[in-house]
Structure formats: structure tokens, C-alpha cells
């Protein structure tokens, strides 16, 4: 399948890994928008948040659990943002579900 993040999961494209288990991979974003910016993705290909259903939603809960663990490990006690862009208007550029975890500066709200 011609999917960038599936290739990263397979090891065909290198990444800077932050966390990995049998369900998820977390790695540094190549173009960071904050001092701390990682992507947390399911290893299985899911196109976007719009494809989440009763069959595959378990991995989303797991991603939030791992984000909380990473926040502790990385000492992000001032907070962080966990966000997924979905579809064209959501600003999604890679069609494999991913959660941006951003921290290390005060983040604007609402987003532009
Ligand atoms: P989106 O725009 O879909 O919400 O997020 C895609 C993210 O993937 C962007 O923040 C972009 O910088 C990141 N990205 C794109 N290509 C690569 C890559 O090859 N390696 C890594 N580590 N991140 C990438
Ligand atoms: Zn994929």
C-alpha cells in the first residue's frame, strides 16, 4: 500500500522513535510545530478519525493512554495538545490516522 506512515511502521522509511508496542508507534514529527512534537499512530492502517468504529476504536483509547505515559516520561507537566486533523478542511495531509502531540510552548486556541 502506498502509505507513508505504513512504510514508517514497516521500517522502510526511518523515523526517530519515541515509543513502540504491538499496537502503536510514536515518533518525532519531521517538521516540528512546537519544541516537542510527535505523532502517535496505530500500526494498522486506518485512514482518519472519520473511519473509527466499534471494530477499531480500541486503539484510540490506547493512543490516549500512551500519550499520558509519554507526558510523564517527558516531564510535560505544563501541558500538551493531542489533536488529529481529519480530511481536507481538517488539514490532514497524510491519510493514515495520527495524533499530533505538541508541547513546550503556549499553544494558541482556536487554531487558524
Ligand atoms: P497532518 O498534516 O496530516 O495532520 O500531519 C502530517 C504530519 O506528518 C505533518 O506534521 C508532517 O510534518 C509529518 N510528516 C510528513 N512526512 C513525514 C515523514 O516522512 N516523517 C515524519 N517523521 N513526519 C512526517
Ligand atoms: Zn497507512
* pLDDT tens-digit series, residues 20-48: 999 999 999 999 999 999 999 999 999 99
Q: Which residues have any ligand 1 atom within 6 Å of their CB?
A: 4, 13, 15, 27-31, 39, 85, 91-94
C-alpha distances in Å from residue 111, one per residue of 50, 55, 67: 20, 31, 21
Mutational pocket test of ligand 1: of 93, 96, 99, 100, the residue with most ligand atoms within 8 Å of the beta carbon: 93
Q: Could you count the other beta carbons within 10 Å of the beta carbon of residue 103? A: 21
Nearest CA to ligand 1 atom 15: 30
- pLDDT, tens digit, 9 for 90 and up, residues 50-93: 999 999 999 999 999 999 999 999 999 999 999 999 999 999 99
Please say if 98 is a catalytic residue.
yes
Amino acid at each position: 500500500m502506498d502509505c507513508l506512515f505504513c512504510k514508517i511502521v514497516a521500517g522502510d522509511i526511518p523515523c526517530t522513535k519515541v515509543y513502540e508496542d504491538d499496537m502503536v508507534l510514536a515518533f518525532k514529527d519531521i517538521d516540528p510545530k512546537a519544541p516537542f512534537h510527535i505523532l502517535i499512530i496505530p500500526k494498522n492502517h486506518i485512514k482518519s478519525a472519520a473511519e473509527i468504529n466499534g471494530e477499531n476504536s480500541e486503539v484510540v483509547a490506547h493512543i490516549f493512554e500512551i500519550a499520558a505515559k509519554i507526558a510523564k516520561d517527558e516531564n510535560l507537566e505544563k501541558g500538551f495538545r493531542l489533536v488529529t486533523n481529519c480530511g481536507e478542511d481538517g488539514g490532514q495531509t497524510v491519510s493514515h490516522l495520527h495524533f499530533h502531540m505538541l508541547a513546550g510552548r503556549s499553544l494558541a486556541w482556536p487554531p487558524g
